[in-house]
Structures are given as C-alpha cells and as structure tokens.
A = this chain, B = another copy of it.
Amino acid sequence: MRSPTKFSKIPAASITRLSIYSRYLEALAQEGVKIIASDKLAQKCGINPAQIRKDLAYFGEFGIRGVGYFVKELLFEIKRILGLNKVWKMALVGVGNLGSALLAHQNFARQGYEFAAVFDVDPAKVGRRLPNGLIIHHLDELERVVKETGVEIGVIATPGTQAQEVAQRLIQAGIRAILNFAPIQLQVPEGMAVENVDFTVKLDNLAYHLTMGNA
C-alpha cells in the first residue's frame, strides 16, 4: 500500500512510460478490450510488470490484484495525470521540410496537440496560407500571436544555427515548454521545459540489436 508521492518527485522516465502505456491502452480501448492483465500490458509495452506497477503507484492505486487494469479507467487516469484531458496549442517555428512534415503529421491532433500558429523568417513563405488554413507569420509577430492564440508549447524546426535565438524569442513571448527538433542543446533559464527529439537515439537501439544478434 503505497500512498501517492509528491508529483514533483516523479522521475521523467516514469512520465515517458505513462505516455507509452496510454498509447497501448488507447489501441486496446479501440479494439474493445475491457480489462488487461498487468503482465500483458507490460509485454505489449516492452517494459517489465514491476516497473508498470511502480510507475502507477506514484499516482495512487490502480487495477485489481489477480485481474488486471480496467483499460478505459486507467487510460482516463493516465491522461488526467499527464494533463491530456485538454487540447494543447502549439506554435511551429520553421516551415521547411521538417516543419511541413510536422504540420501534416496525423498523430498530433489524435493525441490532443494542435498547431495554432506558424512562423518563419523567409519572405517567400511569410503571408502564405497553409493547407490547414493557418497563415505563416513572421517571427517578429511571435509575441502578439502567442498571446492572441493562447499557444503554450513552442516547436522548433529551424536549422541548428537559428534554434537558440528562436528559443529565446519563444521564452520572451511567454512560452514555458519547447519541443526542439534542431540538432543543438538549447540553453534556457531554470523552469523551462525542453524536450529534444533526437532520432539517432532510436537508431542506436537498432544498431545495438543488430550488433548483439538479437534482431
């Protein structure tokens, strides 16, 4: 019987795993599965069952011993914990190939993330209307547009050379969370949340599997 810990002490890795559990639970809910054994959920997620129980124990008591978890209930709780019971508005900075791919990516909307504003500095792009109806603003309009649209998350898809300046502008505009696709470590003040997307970490997993002959 563990009581819920203070939220601030929960390791980042647990939060990432909660997010992964929610993806599988969502798929199960769509398939009409009502209950899942913790071993089965663990296996699907590639995580050991003790770890799942530990991650969930940070937030309270879930599931029934010997039975498993109620899929919809657990999904609802995880979404509540992660703050996914609302739509999060994002600002994209950089409408190159990567930015365009992100705008077209179906997973964002499906998971409750919405691009509410788009920025670039290229005169050939600024003012253009995108297929999703948004107009590309100049980066100089960031502060105004962020305020008007209620954007809370900034997404940086610029070249590495511009990413630090863009991060500073986002912070000045009141953004406190950044998803960074540029291949640099951003320097940000204490209290800012930054997540870096580094595809090569995933490739390292593949390389390891191929090297060890596990694949």
A39 to chain B, nearest CB (A): 16
Interface size on A, residues (CB 8 A): 68
Q: List 22 A-B contacts (CB under 8 A).
A: A7-B212, A15-B204, A19-B204, A19-B205, A27-B185, A83-B211, A84-B204, A88-B210, A90-B203, A97-B97, A97-B100, A98-B101, A108-B199, A108-B200, A108-B203, A111-B200, A153-B207, A176-B209, A177-B207, A177-B210, A192-B215, A193-B209
A160 to chain B, nearest CB (A): 7
- CA–CA, A200 to B81, complex, Å? 16
- CA–CA, A97 to B205, complex, Å? 25
- Asked if A20 lies at the interface with its beta carbon under 8 angstroms from chain B, I say yes
- Asked if A186 lies at the interface with its beta carbon under 8 angstroms from chain B, I say no
Q: Is the CB of B160 within 8 A of A8?
A: no
Q: What chain B residues lie within 8 Å of A104 (beta carbons)? A: 97
Per the 8 Å Cβ criterion, residues 173-215 of A in contact with B are 176-179, 183, 185, 191-193, 195, 197-212, 214-215
Q: What chain B residues lie within 8 Å of A57 (beta carbons)? A: none
- Asked if A152 lies at the interface with its beta carbon under 8 angstroms from chain B, I say yes
Q: What chain B residues lie within 8 Å of A83 (beta carbons)? A: 207-208, 210-212
Q: Is the CB of A20 within 8 A of B201?
A: yes
User: CB-CB contacts of A52-86 with B at 8 A, as 1s and 0s?
Assistant: 00000000000000000000000000000111100
Q: Is the CB of B177 within 8 A of A211?
A: no
Q: Is the CB of A105 within 8 A of B211?
A: no
- Asked if A132 lies at the interface with its beta carbon under 8 angstroms from chain B, I say no
Knowing A83-B208, A107-B199 are in contact, say whether A13-B15 is a contact too (CB < 8 A). no
Q: What chain B residues lie within 8 Å of A19 (beta carbons)? A: 200-201, 204-205
Knowing A98-B98, A160-B106 are in contact, say whether A203-B207 is a contact too (CB < 8 A). no
Which one, B82, B112, B152, B199, contacts A197 given CB within 8 A? B199
- Asked if A5 lies at the interface with its beta carbon under 8 angstroms from chain B, I say no
A75 to chain B, nearest CB (A): 13
